[in-house]
Amino acid sequence: MRLILVGPPGSGKGTQAKLLAAREHLTHISTGDILREGIRTDTPLGRLARPFMQSGQLVPDDLVNELVADRFRRDDRPDRFVLDGYPRTLAQANSFDQVLRQQFLSLTAVVLFAIDDEEIIRRLSGRWTCPLCSTTYNVINRPPQRPDICDKDGTPLMQREDDKECTVRERLRAYHRNTQGLIPYYRDQGLVREVTAAGDVEAIYANLVQVLKQAGARC
Ligand code: AMP
């Protein structure tokens, strides 16, 4: 199975990618994770990517395209994979197609996580984090026992800059702008499958497996 997951921030696609990887024995490739690791270990790639990531912008296409192409050129290149967070633009999709052609690989499906913007805003802006131990709570489905206080260490909870409503709205606008060309491109190839991304993790996973079966993938 060779999958691309596309979805807005907060749609749960990262969680689903990890579950698919574990249960279906797929290689999980997350460009966000690779870039964050590059920043943590201060690699040349990390140094180039840092200013873009810190300001919430996309890293330039050339940089991520090279990173992914390199992953597929290695001797241990993945044969079965789930890509999470790449491609994010039409230019990235074009570049990835070239990589796939060079490796004689074809995609099984491009899974689009369908969820209302307002639901994303409700989810993310309800998220509060402990600045001491990083535990995350959600006023809707995982509230702390005492309002605004971490259950583990009693520290007052904070809202991450990323999770504030106006930032979430901006991230969603960027997502729609960037994926505008991406989805029609894969739709024309007959690859797009939509998954309803509402409900809990296992409910979404069940939808995902169902959709993949319809796409002819063996789960
Ligand atoms: P993510 O963990 O997928 O939300 O990615 C976190 C950040 O990494 C993004 O906001 C971008 O700055 C960068 N990033 C990850 N993947 C890509 C990509 N395919 N293209 C450009 N930037 C990316």
pLDDT of residue 83: 97
CA 142 to chain centre: 22
Pairing assessment for the beta strands 127-129 and 136-138 based on DSSP bridges: antiparallel
Asked whether 32 lines ligand 1 (CB < 6 A), one says yes
Q: Whose CA is nearest to atom 15 of ligand 1?
A: 32
Torsion of CA 195, 168, 165, 162, to 10 degrees: 120
Quickly list H helices, 74-113.
90-102
Distance CA 137, CA 128 (A): 5
Distance CA 218, CA 151 (A): 42
Closest CA relative to residue 89, chosen from 182, 213, 203: 182
Question: Does the reported pTM lie above 0.85?
Answer: yes
Show the tokens assigned to 51: 């200013």
Is residue 218 predicted with pLDDT exceeding 70? no
Asked whether 72 lines ligand 1 (CB < 6 A), one says no
Closest CA relative to residue 173, chosen from 74, 20, 87, 57: 57
Q: How many CB atoms lie within 10 A of CB 100?
A: 14
pLDDT digits (tens, 9 = 90+) for 115-146: 999 989 988 888 898 989 888 898 877 899 99
Lowest mean pLDDT: which of 170-174, 198-202, 213-217? 213-217
Is residue 219 predicted with pLDDT exceeding 80? no
Cα 196 to ligand 1 centroid, rounded to whole Å:
23
Asked whether 95 lines ligand 1 (CB < 6 A), one says no
For residue 205, name the pLDDT band (cuts at 50, 70, 90): very high
Q: Whose CA is nearest to atom 1 of ligand 1?
A: 32
Show the tokens assigned to 170: 């901006």
Asked whether 86 lines ligand 1 (CB < 6 A), one says yes
Exposure string (b/e) for 68-95, b if CB count within 10 Å is 16 or more? beebbeeeeebeebbbbbbbbbbbbbeb
Cα 146 to ligand 1 centroid, rounded to whole Å:
35
Lowest mean pLDDT: which of 14-23, 29-38, 73-82, 158-167? 158-167
Q: Report the chain's mean pLDDT, rounded to a whole number.
A: 91
